[in-house]
Structure 1
Amino acid sequence: MDLSIIILNYNAAAFLEQCLYSVLKAVNNIDAEVIVVDNDSTDHSVEMLQHNFPQVKLITNHENLGFSKGNNIGVQHAQGDYLCILNPDTVVGETVFDEVLAFAKANPQIAFTTTQLIDGTGTYLPESKRNVPTPQIARQKILGNDSKYYAIHLQKDDNGEVEVLVGAMMVCKKSVYEKLGGFDPIYFMYGEDIDLSYTALQHGYQNYYLGKLKVIHFKGESTVKDRKYLERFYGAMGGLFYNKHFKKSKIEKALVDLALKGIIATKSIENESVVSTSNSYRVLVTNDNKLQIGFCDKVATYKQLSDLKWNSQTQFIWDTATLSFDEIINFMAGNTSSQYTYRFLNFKRNLIIGSDSSSSRGEVKELILE
């Protein structure tokens, strides 16, 4: 078997459903398996999986074991030569696995490969490619310079070597993952992708970013981006990561701690001011003439992207039975605006999902079809 796709889920049923629909279309020509590890969800994730996706291998944990342990369990059950660690709140195009897998096979010196990630508005997510967050970078943050945290030597659409990839989408050879020890279980959530990327570098491997390929990562469907989240994220980086990989003097530790506290305070304020967009115009792209969307206002309907017309304040609704995910992703990445929002009609046509901000949870809206 070529590829095992491992998706760790916790209370993200609606987004997981959309993710799996896209994943199964993307592995149509690959010898692959899809493994979902459920971390004791309290929503209807397990029931949804059992009913809608019997071909998916389901592993249910009886407690929330966190990101590292949950994914490592999935790897233990994986039969593929290559692994893809994938978040449940992602959407992939039909060709992405073919291209990433071909690249990984041709470059055995590379441990982890990822793509460009965009959020639910089509906006590029800079955490797609990062640098190792050394204490020196932490000191730069004290001075207000965050740029060194991100790998800005590459443009977002470039391909190239980077130090740190994001755990929302990582492809690697299973034997390499096992050689590196997988995700370190000392991390419950956040920081484990930084740690594993850095461990790969320490073992002489490279990590690689394929910016010409894009994957949607809605973000935040299992976690609210509040102060507690920030403390956990930067605590993982400052406490666990530095204690494991860097020798620190008392002065260096004090500087790192000061920087992290400043980041938490600043970003807590930023995350409180999430702008909600009000769209005056909605368009639905579908070739189903009978499809009616359960909104009280009118929805303009188009059968294909080439016919699409919109104004400066538009919500785009995608019928994924009509459009390919590659078409949708490329359109979103090429049409980003604070006045545009995007929604996905699920394959059962009873839900619309989407996200207007990478720092807050997305929207799941039940539909009543006429």
Structure 2
Amino acid sequence: MNSLHLQDSEGVQPDISVVIPSWNTLELTRDCLRSLLHQDQGCTLQVIVVDNGSHDGSADMVAREFPQVLLIRNERNEYFSKACNQGASVAKGRYICYLNSDTIVTPKALRRMMEFLETHPAYGAVAPRLDNPDGSVQPICRRFPKLIEVAIDQFGFERFEFARRYRDHASMKDFDHLSSADVEQPPGACLLMRRSDVDAIGGFDESMPLFYSDVDLCLRIWRSGRPIRFLAEARIFHVGSASIVRHPLWRAEFMRNQVRYFRKHGGVVHAFAAKAIILTSAILVAIRTLLGPRPLREKRDLIGQLGRSMQIVLGG
């Protein structure tokens, strides 16, 4: 269940509808909205906040301090993918911008992104450069994941040269993030698309509620024949992972979404392989825990938590 607070759009279609999922990020959401509404973005905006049942007063703050914002109040945490789709479903703009609540948008950054798509009709999406709060660039563009990443993650293969080389390639260490380029998977904190492309390609896959849905969306954009542009001259500040790391059993949810991504794009064989790798790793962790020097009660708690995590992953 959710409640919807609509603001009068005065019958004018905005250039961009900005969709912001929010969960217990009151101060960050406030700063994000101030950057959008109290600075010159050089284009008309419809700002939509989808509050996922926050218990820190975030929704009330938005309603009180930003009455021009369209606010959707979910009674519970519906998670990232569904919240983005909820916002997009009521968006009125010619463009839709999916934006994390832990961002600060610099003046005219959204206009630069919109102008790129207006002058480059062959592109399906554009993403900005993300900077840390101290102004240093966040090098977080990536290439599309491969199954080997599951094994590297689970077994700690980073100590081997082949794994380090693969990691460097996958995380685009060869790209300085200071210049514009076509990229497979730009930062998921901000992505701008034409409304027509959102309608044609579809929004976020809600079967991956927290993780990999942005990867999946980027892959579908590329497979539609449209590249994605990383636009370095559009800068946004990004705190990073403000909500996700507070989600209970987030690591298990990450692995479940990972398996679902590989099932969707690699079939049942890839999904089975990913599950087998994860389960094997869990068994090895359980054996090391049982044979280790920890107190019996601590071992029992750790094994129980591991079991709950595997139920989430293998059951998905």
CA RMSD of aligned residues (A): 2.6
Gaps of 5+ in 2: 1-13, 286-316
Judged with a 3 Å threshold, the aligned counterparts in structure 2 of structure 1 residues 156 and 257 are, in CA distance, closer, same or farther, namely: same
| Equivalent residue for 2:240, pick from 219, 222, 225 | 219
Alignment counterpart, residue 193 of structure 1, candidates 189, 214, 223: 214
The residue type equivalent to 2:277 in the other structure is D
Q: Please list the CA deviations of residues 223-271 of structure 1 after superposition, one character each: whole Å capped at 9, or x if unmatched.
A: 326893333224322x011000013647981598359959xx9xxxxxx
1:167 maps onto 2:180 in alignment: no
Partner of 2:27: 14
Task: Name the counterpart of 1:24.
Answer: 37
What residue number does 1:296 align with? none
Decide which of 101, 104, 112 is 1:91's aligned counterpart: 104
1:197-224 deviation per Cα after TM superposition (whole angstroms, max 9, x unaligned): 0111111111111123321111232232
Match of 1:4 in 2: 17
- Indicate if the aligned counterparts of 1:159 and 1:211 stay in contact, CA closer than 8 A: yes
Letter in 2 for 1:8: P
Partner SS for 1:102: helix
Distance 1:201 1:40, change over 3 A: same
Q: Contact between 2:17 and 2:91, CA under 8 Å: does it hold in 1? A: yes
Q: Structure 1 residues 69, 226: CA separation in 2 closer, same or farther (over 3 Å shift)? A: closer
Partner of 2:163: 144
Question: In structure 1, what is the Cα distance between the partners aligned to 2:75 and 2:190?
Answer: 25
Distance (Å, rounded) in 1 between the aligned partners of 2:132 and 2:163:
25
1:115: Cα distance to partner?
A: 1.2
Residues 1:229 and 2:250 aligned together:
yes
- What is the match of residue 132 of structure 2? 119
Provide the C-alpha distance between the structure 2 equivalents of 1:259 and 1:99, rounded to a whole number of angstroms. 46
Alignment partners' CA distance in 1, 2:279 and 2:130: 27
- SS at 1:224 equivalent: helix
Q: Separation in 1 of the partners of 2:276 and 2:180?
A: 31
Instruction: Name the % identity.
Output: 26
Counterpart of 2:86? 73
Is the 2:137–2:178 Cα contact (8 Å) retained in structure 1?
Answer: no
Compare the two structures and name the one with the higher helix fraction. Answer: 2
Inter-partner Cα distance in structure 2 for 1:149 and 1:86: 24
The answer as to 2:270 corresponding to 1:257 is: no
Shift of 1:139: 5.8
Contact kept in structure 1, 2:260 and 2:271, CA below 8 Å: no
1:220 counterpart letter in structure 2: S
Does structure 1 retain, via aligned residues, the 8 Å contact 2:130–2:235? yes
Shifted more, 114-123 versus 98-107: the winner is 114-123
Give 1:247's match in structure 2, choosing from 257, 267, 278: 267
Quote the Cα distance in structure 1 between the aligned partners of 2:179 and 2:247: 32
Cα distance 1:47–1:258, how it changes in 2: closer, same or farther (>3 A)? closer
Displacement after TM superposition at 1:82 (Å): 0.3
AA in 1 matched with 2:145 = P
**CA gap 1:225/1:50 in 2 versus in 1, 3 angstroms:** closer
Shift of 1:26: 4.3
Q: What does 1:105-116 correspond to in 2, within 5 Å? A: 105-116=118-129
- Letter of the aligned partner of 2:228 in structure 1? N
8 Å Cα contact 1:137/1:149 also seen in 2: no
Could you state the TM-score of these two structures normalised by the residue count of structure 2?
A: 0.75
TM, length-normalised to structure 1:
0.65
The one-character-per-residue Cα deviations of 1:173-204 (angstroms, maximum 9, x if unpaired) are 01111211100010111111001001111111
Inter-CA distance 121–234: structure 2 relative to 1 (3 Å threshold): farther
Q: Is the 8 A contact 1:139 1:255 kept in 2?
A: no
Using the TM superposition, give the Cα deviation of residue 31 of structure 1 relative to its aligned residue in structure 2, in angstroms.
1.9
* Aligned residue number for residue 155 of structure 1: 176
Q: 1:5 to 1:26 in 2, by over 3 A?
A: farther
Matched, 1:133 2:141: no
| Deviation of the 1:111 alpha carbon | 1.4
Cα distance between partner residues in 1 of 2:42 and 2:62: 22
